[in-house]
A and B are shown apart, each in its own frame.
Chain A
């Protein structure tokens, strides 16, 4: 149950696009198309942004998109806005009703 690997920080200017990577193993990200992404603002509970790798829950902006290649999943945010500044976590199903999170990435909007 080792944590997935995410960059500690990413940044971009308003209007730009950024991508956050999430690298796992053949036992989690590589085995299942069940990666989810969460946005967390300071002092708040996490919010689901992407599930099943690329699906958006109702109410989540289409500026957020997800993808996967091999053992690495990615979250792309296009048209960056100030309110996107937050911590982002990936999470993968790892079989046998267990999950593993990434270490989190702090997004700064310059």
Chain B
């Protein structure tokens, strides 16, 4: 069974940093490209970032470019999102997502990040 489990969410002050982790299991993690998608409470979905199988290619939405960094460790079956210079508008549930056929076929349960003083 494919499982994606996010961790590392919490309350952080504006301007602060946080690192999300996603533990993958039930599939060959190194064979799949991965993404992060977020959803502000009561709002819609927003694609944030993509990473290739071997980490050679990474891409970001304009809203997080220069502040967030996606990475992965295939030996640990883990995906990460380093978030710096956090703003109130970054408050959201952050989903770790596997992609296949240019669609997001498996989602984690989400990690809540709250940016507030």
Contacts and interface: CB of A to CB of B under 8 A. Distances in A.
Interface of A: 1, 3, 32, 34, 36, 38, 45-48, 51-52, 55, 57, 89, 91, 93, 96-104
A51 B103 contact: yes
B106 to A, nearest CB: 8
B59 A98 contact: yes
B101 A97 contact: no
B32 interface: no
A104 to B, nearest CB: 4
Interface string B55-73: 0010101110000000000
B101 A52 contact: yes
Nearest to B96: A45
B5 to A, nearest CB: 11
A83 to B, nearest CB: 19
Interface stretch (B18-26, B84-92, B107-115): B107-115
